[in-house]
Structure 1
């Protein structure tokens, strides 16, 4: 199994790793440890390469594997008799996604706290991120302007709340629905140790993604769209400036 270092340190951009499996064509490998976020939960996978001395081997795709956690599919075959590599990820791309991901958590936390609304889906794109929120019948806002929402989110960002990681069990998560701001059934049943990302008293969600360590690191934002998606749903589109 591969040790996922990104779960404990989102800022680690390079690390050594040992090859624990390699395909006959030497273009697919498994590693003993990784800093590469594989994608999921609305966050894209990292842009990453394996390095051997000064030679770069870009990773074209990542697939999940029952025996090795992840298989990394390379653009070029590795040379013979290689046992160790260095992983390097695109730091600017990682940091941008960390900021977006934390912003999405702040946004969903705001809607839960003020309306009891839950996030139903989210996605980080190249130049924006979107979030869909579902409101309870009794709390659907009659009117909500994007300028007002942006001002509210900016207050949360500037408050410089810490972003921390906690762990809980699936049993506790099921028993206490207030522990999480997303639908519990979105967490795969085989996962029993639940990783929670917590932003002070603003938000707490199950999440395996990467985040900044304080809300102020999100930086300047713009709420580009606040759109009705049916009577109980809204879609929010945000960008980093």
Structure 2
């Protein structure tokens, strides 16, 4: 099942009938909520029904649809209204887009260095880890200029589906050192493409172009092991 946030990211509200229910959770056929994953935080969202409203804590899939677990133990029947916090979604889109730009700049300038971890944060920063030695720390601290140059170029961002086996055979589409993107039920994997700069497998949410992000600065470069360098990135004040 494809998420609405992947195929129709403009949809932030949804009216839906309940397919199944249990105390504190309802099953819906579709959801506008990004459930989290790949270093991106889950959307902040709420659910409303005829007798109340609650914050959604977790969204999980099963073969029938998407379970929405919410605060409290109410058992809901009838139609519900799901609403995603637009400001938080936009922040995650911005950070995830910037993380891809950073990943691409490092991949192209550091001999195809692979990703070893990433995490977006609600405070407007993100950290991204690479399989690199300590000798590269000074070069990593100078990454703000090439990243901000990509932002200024206003490169378009688009997504599309590709057969997983085909994508796995293309160098650079799978960037993680140890984890491959999951194969979808239809045998595909989602690809995010940034102009002619970059394309890689990803299930997260993104902006429409690089110019929609704010300029960044490198906040810190850490050694996290003999072959692991962590870059922390934030917005220019």
TM value normalised by structure 2: 0.87
Aligned to 2:152: 158
Correspondence 1:14-93 to 2 at 5 A:
14-23=13-22, 25=23, 27-52=24-49, 55-65=52-62, 67-78=63-74, 82-93=77-88
1:41, distance to aligned residue in structure 2 (A) = 0.5
For 1:34 and 1:17, locate their aligned partners in 2 and report how far apart those are by CA, in whole Å.
9
Segments of 5+ residues of structure 2 without an aligned counterpart are: none
For 1:202 and 1:87, locate their aligned partners in 2 and report how far apart those are by CA, in whole Å.
36
CA root-mean-square deviation:
2.4
Aligned to 2:92: 97
1:180, distance to aligned residue in structure 2 (A) = 3.6
Structure 2 counterpart of 1:111, from 91, 106, 116? 106
1:162–1:199 CA contact under 8 A, matched in 2 = yes
Aligned to 1:123: 119
Residues 1:119 and 1:231: Cα distance change in structure 2 (over 3 Å): same
Residues 1:183 and 1:145: Cα distance change in structure 2 (over 3 Å): closer
For 1:141 and 1:63, locate their aligned partners in 2 and report how far apart those are by CA, in whole Å.
40
1:49, distance to aligned residue in structure 2 (A) = 0.8
* Secondary structure of the corresponding residue to residue 100 of structure 1: helix
Correspondence 1:165-204 to 2 at 5 A:
165-183=159-177, 185-188=179-182, 192-204=187-199
Deviations 1:145-187 (A, max 9, x none): 52x2111111011111111102111211222223343348422
TM value normalised by structure 1: 0.86
For 2:170 and 2:139, locate their aligned partners in 1 and report how far apart those are by CA, in whole Å.
30
